[in-house]
Amino acid sequence: MNNKVLKIAMAMAILIMIAAVSAGCAAPAPAAAPVAEEETAPAEEAVAEEIVLRTSMGAEPTSIDPNLAQDTYAINSSEGMFLGLTNINNVTADIEPELATHWDISEDGTVWTFHLRDDAMWTDGKPVTAHDIEYSVRRAIMPETASPYAYVLYIIKNAQAINQTDVSADEYDLDTLGVTALDDYTVEFTLEAPASYFLAISSLWTLRPVPQWAIEEHGDAWTEAENVVSNGPYILEEWKHGESMAFVKNPDYYDADNVQIDRVEVDIITDQYTEVALYESGELDIAGDGPGTLPAEEMARILEEPVLAEALHIGPRASTTYVGFTMTKPPFDDPLVRKAFSAAIDREVMVRDVVGSGVPATQFAPPGIFGAPDPEVGLATDVAQAQAWLAEAGYPDGEGFPTVTYRYFSSSLEEALGEALQAMWKEALNVDVQLESQEWPVFIAGIGPDTPLEEMPEMWRLGWGADYADENNWVREVFHCTDSTNYSRAECTEADEMALQAALETDPEVRKELYAQVEQLMFGEELRAAPYYHRGYTILTKPYVQRSFPTFAPVNWDTWRIER
């Protein structure tokens, strides 16, 4: 089998990455002109050329405030700016020390003590201390902060009780929260129950240290380039909202000597055809390094062109795209309607003809996540059954079914996905679905739990990428009726009780059994959402960029290199 045919087969299977980045030698900078013998001035040394990475993202970040970040664009932007207690290695997926050098766990598994390095500095010269972590966790949990990711910290003692306090009617005591700075370089967490996955949670942005003094001085504007104070390998130099962001190497980062790339320029590009064109013209070093994938039409062309095919990297991503249902808004308050719409989605066609990567999905968590059922559970594509369910709900052949809205965020891929779903629902169910596109920050704010029901679309597009490789991060932290954002507005059922039980269970086999039942209930019977594909990645990368392709976790630019 020749190389070209092999690469096409690999692309269609989406089983492995296309490997291998070729390395070259950096050309030396020209030497300074020699000084004449009669001159006494010393010769000037050659100035090293700045090493610049040019990449892109598909939307404006909602916020780079670690306590408020919730989407891929925000998380990747802030990853290089703020240190975590731990870090998920982009190559091995192992959890490794970052701000914490080591940690201790009590015998009963409920007290975790992290010992911090003493050479981490804020960009204004202050030392990073355990008090900054204590402040950050408290701020994330305070209900006034409205942290969209606060629920990932509910395993910390009293976090849920405090975060869900009605601040207009009650008071809460932050001193009862299970986080304490024992001294400048030791922070202790007390948990509600043993949780082996807390080590992975310690890598998340939500509990990373933030600068209290800068936040108090500048308020919401503290993350603007002229105000931000950070502590990671990169500093935000410029943020042209809606256009671009620029990051420069932090000379005071404790490991700055091992950070090779001096500058990262990120263009905000919502159209992926434009992104590929800029890559081909040499204006971008990377195309497709976001939560989506390159369009199927572009993939076919790329695989036919040897130079592009050689630069294409393909592999699995621990991420799932789904259609969300507003479960309290008619006609989707009827589970039969939700089942009908899910069963009418031709998942094979979506993956093969629209996305061009990934694998069809019927459950939420993809392979590789602890507790993900194998074989998959959920609701498979079945047009005849979909029609029967819609008729049972009172809409035979779509008769009398109202026009409903499917909302998605602006992107060429999301537009194609929306149009494909619209056509499938029309053909299978004879119903009319109008499409509505919004820019990402507007979109995500408009489907939140506080959005009035009359302003909610009946259906909407969301996806989830693993923060850590455990089902707790999926069924509980995304779809639980009280311990998540609960975009679907589901009422509490047996599925939620079982998700909590699985989170606290110490026997791994029992946990797996519980999660299989939760997945089947949520996505095969109640239909809180309709998962339809587990995403893959399709990324074009210039051969001089040496980088990793993480299955999950934010990208670590500080570990990348450019070798021309």
Q: For residue range 457-480, list pLDDT tens digits in order.
A: 999 999 999 988 899 999 999 999
Please indicate, yes or no, if residue 453 is contained in any of the structural domains.
yes
Provide Rg for the chain, Cα atoms: 25
Q: How far apart are CA 465 and CA 319, in angstroms?
A: 4
Q: Are residues 402 and 521 in the same domain?
A: yes
How many Å from the N-terminal Cα to the C-terminal Cα in the chain? 31
Counted domains in the chain: 2
b/e burial code for range 233-242 (CB count within 10 A of at least 16 → b): bbbbeebeee
Beta bridge partners of 156: 191
238 in a domain, yes or no?
Answer: yes
Please indicate, yes or no, whether residues 393 and 470 belong to a single structural domain of this protein.
yes
Gap between the Cα atoms of 106 and 103, Å rounded: 10
Question: Is 66 within a domain?
Answer: yes
For residue 16, what pLDDT is reported? 32
Based on the fold, state whether residues 329 and 478 are members of the same structural domain: yes
Question: Is there a domain that residue 181 lies in?
Answer: yes
How confident is the model at residue 293, as a pLDDT?
79
Q: Which of 198, 221, 246 is the last residue of a domain?
A: 246
Whether residues 528 and 451 fall in one domain: yes
Q: Is residue 17 one of the residues assigned to a domain?
A: no
Asked if residue 270 is part of any domain, the answer here is no
Inside any domain, residue 210: yes
User: Do 191 and 78 share a structural domain?
Assistant: yes
Burial label for 347, CB within 10 Å (0-12, 13-18, 19+), is: buried
Q: Are residues 343 and 197 in the same domain?
A: no
- Domain C-terminal end among 216, 246, 276: 246
Residue 213 and residue 326 in one domain:
no
Residue type, 39: E
Domain boundaries, position 400? 314-537
Low-confidence ranges of the chain (pLDDT < 50): 1-44
State the pLDDT at residue 5.
37
Report the pLDDT value the prediction gives residue 238, as an integer from 0 to 100: 98
375 and 462 in a single domain? The answer is yes
Same domain, 218 and 326: no
Q: Distance between CA 124 and CA 98 in Å, rounded?
A: 20
Q: The domain that contains 518 carries what CATH number?
A: 3.10.105.10
- Residues 234 and 319 both lie in one domain: no
From residue 74, give the alpha-carbon distance in Å to each of 22, 68, 221: 30, 9, 15
For residue 55, give the 3-state DSSP assignment.
strand
Final residue belonging to a domain, choices 220, 246, 272: 246
- The pLDDT, as a whole number, for residue 47 is 61
The CATH number that applies at residue 187 is: 3.90.76.10
Please say whether the beta carbons of 20 and 10 come within 8 A: no
* Rounded distance between C-alpha atoms, residue 234 and residue 264, angstroms: 9
**85 contacts 114 by C-beta, under 8 angstroms:** yes
Q: How many CB atoms lie within 10 A of CB 410?
A: 16
Same domain, 140 and 223: yes
Task: Label the pairing between strands 433-438 and 286-287.
Answer: unpaired
Please indicate, yes or no, if residue 304 is contained in any of the structural domains. no
pTM of the model: 0.82
> 338 and 427: one domain?
yes
Task: Look up residue 129 and give its amino acid.
Answer: T
- Say if strands 179-183 and 186-190 run parallel, antiparallel, or are unpaired: antiparallel
Q: What pLDDT is attached to residue 297?
A: 84
